């Protein structure tokens, strides 16, 4: 009788589903959200949600004094019972500093059930981040209020979807851009009709510096060659990219003639970092890898010799064997 009279919980337990890229997390999230028989539900990419939160916080601070977290959480939770996120990831201290209090207010005070996917287990969120001790209560909140389930099988279904996609396209014209666009949306499961809302990211590269990533979604990043190699960048920047993203698109790689020696040297360093971390590469370029560094490049024999290794790696990175490798540093 006591069991029959016991009241049902006001809020179902949340869910934290984590695993490597391409393991089917987004597919399961699609099925969950589509079949959830309530109107008070919302699905949003985590990065876009946190941008929205910061805007709410700015408005709250302008309009009233006191702690802005409770009214912001109440505004977000209005008419909402289930909040579903794609790809929970924490890349900056600004997000880390507010997440514990914000999500405690959403879950414990407002009664919102949170369901999320992530590439990382909870304990690895914001790993080695600045002032991470302030973030640890959020990890404890996840482990207390959400069921943590690993979806980490051996098959990378996303890389299977890369089959048949062009990964090195010449020349870098509108047609090439369209082919890269198709590849990006297939790799990220993002609806092409919502292209204007693909999130960006400020990637922490160390030393108080950041690198703007114009398109950053589900471990896939899009850069122009100019941003990566025409600016004063070095190995530290490229290692940060290689560690953060499993797939990188580089748009507009030019012929690296005598006037591009610095760019060629940076490009070599970039490809070394991507190769050593088994990052998948998609690119538009003015020529095939063998022709990027012409034989008449100002008599720079040493540079041309070094570039031969880059050509070899670029070719290997286009192979199916390389594409099947898991993301991460070798050995």
Per-residue pLDDT of the chain (331 residues; tens, 9 = 90+): 344 444 445 678 999 998 876 677 877 888 898 899 999 999 987 877 888 899 899 998 888 778 999 999 999 999 999 999 877 888 778 888 899 999 999 999 999 999 999 878 999 888 878 888 889 999 999 999 999 998 876 555 555 555 567 899 999 999 999 999 989 988 887 888 888 888 888 888 877 888 999 999 888 999 999 999 999 898 999 999 998 888 999 999 999 877 888 899 999 999 999 998 889 999 999 999 999 988 665 556 666 777 888 999 999 999 888 887 777 765 4
Same domain, 36 and 174: no
Q: Last residue of some domain: 101, 127, 150?
A: 150
Same domain, 177 and 312: yes
The three-state secondary structure class of 9 is coil
328 lies in some domain:
no
Whole-number pLDDT of residue 329: 61
DSSP-assigned letters across all residues of 182-207: HHHHHHHT--GGGGGG---EEEEEET
> Do the beta carbons of residue 292 and residue 261 sit within 8 Å?
no
329 lies in some domain:
no
Whole-number pLDDT of residue 94: 82
Q: Last residue of some domain: 135, 150, 165?
A: 150
- In eight-state DSSP terms, residue 326 is P
Same domain, 122 and 166: no
Same domain, 223 and 107: no
Whole-number pLDDT of residue 248: 96
270 lies in some domain:
yes
CA distance 4 to 10: 16
Same domain, 125 and 243: no
Whole-number pLDDT of residue 6: 46
CATH number for the domain spanning 76: value is: 3.40.50.300
Calculate the alpha carbon distances from 297 to 45, 49, 259, 288, 291 in Å.
46, 48, 9, 16, 11
164 lies in some domain:
yes
CA distance 187 to 160: 10
Report the domain count for the chain: 2
Same domain, 112 and 28: yes
Whole-number pLDDT of residue 148: 95
Same domain, 135 and 264: no
Whole-number pLDDT of residue 10: 62
Nearest residue to 270 via CA among 239, 226, 247: 239
Q: Last residue of some domain: 91, 121, 150?
A: 150
What are the tokens at 327?
A: 């993301």
Which domain covers residue 236, as residue numbers?
Answer: 157-323
Same domain, 118 and 237: no
Same domain, 107 and 183: no
Same domain, 176 and 142: no
CA distance 245 to 207: 20
Same domain, 246 and 123: no
């Amino acid at each position: 009788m006591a069991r029959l009279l016991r009241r049902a919980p006001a809020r179902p337990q949340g869910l934290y589903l984590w695993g490597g890229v391409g393991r089917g997390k987004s597919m399961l999230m699609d099925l969950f959200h589509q079949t959830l028989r309530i109107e008070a539900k919302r699905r949003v990419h985590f990065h876009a949600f946190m941008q929205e939160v910061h805007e709410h916080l700015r408005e709250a601070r302008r309009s009233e004094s006191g702690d802005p977290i409770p009214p912001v959480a109440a505004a977000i939770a209005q008419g909402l019972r289930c909040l579903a996120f794609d790809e929970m990831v924490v890349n900056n201290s600004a997000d880390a500093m507010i997440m514990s209090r914000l999500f405690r207010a959403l879950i414990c005070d407002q009664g919102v059930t949170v369901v999320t996917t992530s590439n990382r287990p909870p304990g690895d969120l914001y790993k080695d981040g600045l002032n991470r001790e302030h973030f640890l209560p959020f990890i404890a909140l996840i482990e207390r209020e959400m069921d943590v389930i690993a979806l980490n099988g051996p098959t990378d279904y996303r890389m299977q979807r890369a089959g048949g996609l062009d990964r090195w396209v010449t020349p870098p014209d509108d047609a090439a851009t369209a082919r890269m666009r198709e590849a990006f949306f297939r790799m990220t499961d993002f609806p092409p009709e919502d292209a204007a809302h693909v999130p960006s990211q400020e990637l922490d590269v160390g030393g108080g510096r950041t690198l703007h990533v114009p398109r950053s979604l589900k471990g896939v990043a899009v850069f122009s060659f100019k941003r990566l190699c025409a600016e004063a960048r070095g190995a530290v920047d490229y290692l940060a990219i290689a560690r953060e993203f499993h797939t990188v698109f580089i748009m507009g790689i030019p012929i690296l003639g005598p006037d591009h020696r610095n760019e060629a040297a940076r490009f070599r360093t970039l490809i070394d970092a991507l190769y050593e971390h088994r990052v998948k590469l998609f690119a538009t370029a003015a020529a095939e890898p063998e022709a990027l560094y012409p034989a008449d490049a100002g008599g720079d024999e040493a540079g041309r010799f070094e570039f031969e290794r880059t050509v070899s790696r670029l070719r290997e990175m286009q192979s199916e064997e390389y594409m099947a490798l898991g993301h991460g540093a070798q050995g």
